[in-house]
Structure 1
């Protein structure tokens, strides 16, 4: 009888060990995939000669994706020098409590649509902080990422070299 109970306990322990191993492997590969999609979860910042510099690594597709904040809420940015304004998906704009302003016609990859002007009080990427950034709430933009367009990027100096994007904010441009 005790030998049967010992075997049962051994089988239970084996099943639990396999379940724990699968769980840990799943977590590891999910984190690894997330790192490949967004290698800038904590963007590196440095201050030198009164300038704030943030370095971003390109992801596996060559895009620059980075975590940041809008009005002190965490967000993920996709830097897009081809976008005129910062573009925020409708659902995300609601969670960020961005107010819809005047309607505006938008030309997107999916055609023309109507978006809404809005203003971002505080946008942060690493130690770079921008205030009163013009943005647009973009319907039909189904993403959890915010396109960081030229309404923000034009306030910074940026250079790209060997898969790295360096953003600089001069002391005179800080709020």
Structure 2
């Protein structure tokens, strides 16, 4: 013979389940906010004097910085192995960059087809660079690779987990 179901007991179990779900959702939200705050602080550009900025290495070992292309905000990833700046297609579309001639590119992931483009202005901290060549690359990243055509205008010094970028008045 089965026992009759106790509605109070069932309601209590449902309430406990809802309480645990709410607690998990709040913890997930809390840690997501902490990760976003940490990512924001990893991209901050610390201005040191009139000609230098300092970047902190991210927890993944990269140097990221908040910057702007043609006055619109972007996340820059410094890449000394890249010859030119590389802008992901989605970012290029958001920035309405002109799409030029196609070109075959060799990347770490293999050969891909990209497109030439020009960047009118690139801002990094207090510095602005003008009229830079770049390529529009296939991919889903939100980070713009800051290649050597822009980085050559800076003297780079790494000490520990900090990278000091000293602006050179004239491009070498």
TM-score (norm 1): 0.77
In the superposition, relative to structure 1, how do residues 130 and 31 fare at CA in structure 2: closer, same or farther (>3 Å)?
A: farther
1:46 and 1:156 map into 2 onto residues whose CA distance is 14
Larger radius of gyration: 2
Question: Which stretches in structure 1 are left out of the alignment for 5+ residues?
Answer: 1-14
User: Shift of the alpha carbon at 1:117?
Assistant: 1.0
Contact 2:44 2:55 survives alignment (8 Å): no
SS of equivalent to 1:87: strand
Alignment size in residue pairs: 157
User: Shift of the alpha carbon at 1:41?
Assistant: 3.5
Contact 1:38 1:59 survives alignment (8 Å): no
Matched, 1:44 2:46: yes
User: Shift of the alpha carbon at 1:57?
Assistant: 0.5
In the superposition, relative to structure 1, how do residues 60 and 105 fare at CA in structure 2: closer, same or farther (>3 Å)?
A: same
**Structure 1 equivalent of residue 9 of structure 2:** none
User: Shift of the alpha carbon at 1:105?
Assistant: 1.3
Question: Which stretches in structure 2 are left out of the alignment for 5+ residues?
Answer: 1-17
**Structure 2 equivalent of residue 138 of structure 1:** 137
User: 1:13-92 maps to which residues of 2 (within 5 A)?
Assistant: 25-37=27-39, 39-48=41-50, 51=51, 53-92=52-91
1:154 and 1:168 map into 2 onto residues whose CA distance is 11
**Structure 2 equivalent of residue 164 of structure 1:** 162
1:154 and 1:24 map into 2 onto residues whose CA distance is 46
User: Shift of the alpha carbon at 1:38?
Assistant: 5.2
**Structure 2 equivalent of residue 100 of structure 1:** 99
1:37 and 1:111 map into 2 onto residues whose CA distance is 29
RMSD: 2.7
User: Shift of the alpha carbon at 1:26?
Assistant: 3.9
Deviations 1:49-78 (A, max 9, x none): xx2x11100011111112111111111111
